Amino acid sequence: MTTATASRAARFGAYVPALLLLGVFFAGPLLWSVYSAFTNVALTGSSSIDFVGLANFRTMFHDRQFWNSLWLTLLFVVGSAVIGQNTLGLLIALLLKGRGKLARALVSGLVIAAWTVPETVAGFCWYSFLHTDGTLNAILHRVGFSQNWLYTTPMLAVILANVWRGTAFSMLVYQAALNDVPPELHEAASVDGASAWQRLRRVTLPLIRRSIVTNLMLITLQTLAAFGLIYVMTKGGPGTKSSTTPIYMYQESFQFYKLGYGTAMALVLLVIGAIFSLIYVRLIKVDDL
């Protein structure tokens, strides 16, 4: 054995523990879930596992409730993450730039406080804020406008709650990104007579677009998989009016025992997440930066 191969072997050897751990705890479950998407594996109620090919996906294709859930998931992701958290986070970061220390600390503190609250606690806060005997109705009572908002506007309710909870993350990402924008560029643009909007559009946004892509990707993937918040607030109801794909997946896998069908849906969600990421990368053209 030459010294070179020995050192290469040693270097590889150093990876082995990490690779083993990754293999057991990361690749293993992943492969298992891909495999079970093509089987009829059940949580209980059946002792055999049969390979069923694409049957789960065919069922999904004809499953009206699945398409409904997918549509609601899209609405939830676009409404609460892409539009809500992303825009609001950027807006707050822009408004806070160059403000006094106290204002920055106060606003960031409040926004981040919402983020640090555990998901289920946030869900219960919003539940008690919006339902019939909730705080909102106590205020609206005078105008005779009170109703159970979780019943009349379930999607809006969960979207608002998710914006409230998740904005801090986007705000932090954008605050960091904006700190890296050199002030000279803004000064130069102002000297050239660019308006505030033009400076934002032509200078700031192009410079932070890497952060925009990263942020969009992260919050999209997080929101696609959001479960706890919706489950606590509406359990997917009334009826199936807020039953996004993760909620529907939970119902099928753990309440109806159809693990195979549930994992097949998870696989579809994974593909949708990948498509979203591709769209972001394309739209914002990170490569030619």
Q: Which 3 state secondary structure label does DSSP give 51?
A: strand
Which residue, 13 or 183, is less far from another protein as judged by CB? Answer: 13
Q: Which residues of 42-57 are buried (b: 16+ CB within 10 A; e: fewer)?
A: beeeeeeeeebeebbb
Alpha carbons 184 and 93: distance in angstroms, whole number: 19
CB 241 → another protein: shortest distance, Å? 10
CB 39 → another protein: shortest distance, Å? 14
What does DSSP assign to residue 48?
-
Which residue, 179 or 255, is less far from another protein as judged by CB? Answer: 255
Which residue, 84 or 134, is less far from another protein as judged by CB? Answer: 134
Of 101, 75, 76, 79, whose CA–CA distance to 88 is shortest?
79
Other CB atoms within a 10 A radius of the CB of residue 35 amount to: 14
Phi and psi at 5, nearest 5°, equal -65, -35
Which residue, 90 or 252, is less far from another protein as judged by CB? Answer: 252
Amino acid at 198: Q
CB 12 → another protein: shortest distance, Å? 8
CB 131 → another protein: shortest distance, Å? 6
Which residues of this protein are in contact with another protein, per CB under 8 A?
Answer: 3, 6-7, 9-10, 13-14, 16-17, 20-21, 24, 42-47, 127, 131-132, 147-148, 150-152, 234-239, 251, 254-257
Which residue, 67 or 188, is less far from another protein as judged by CB? Answer: 67
Alpha carbons 32 and 20: distance in angstroms, whole number: 16
CB 29 → another protein: shortest distance, Å? 13
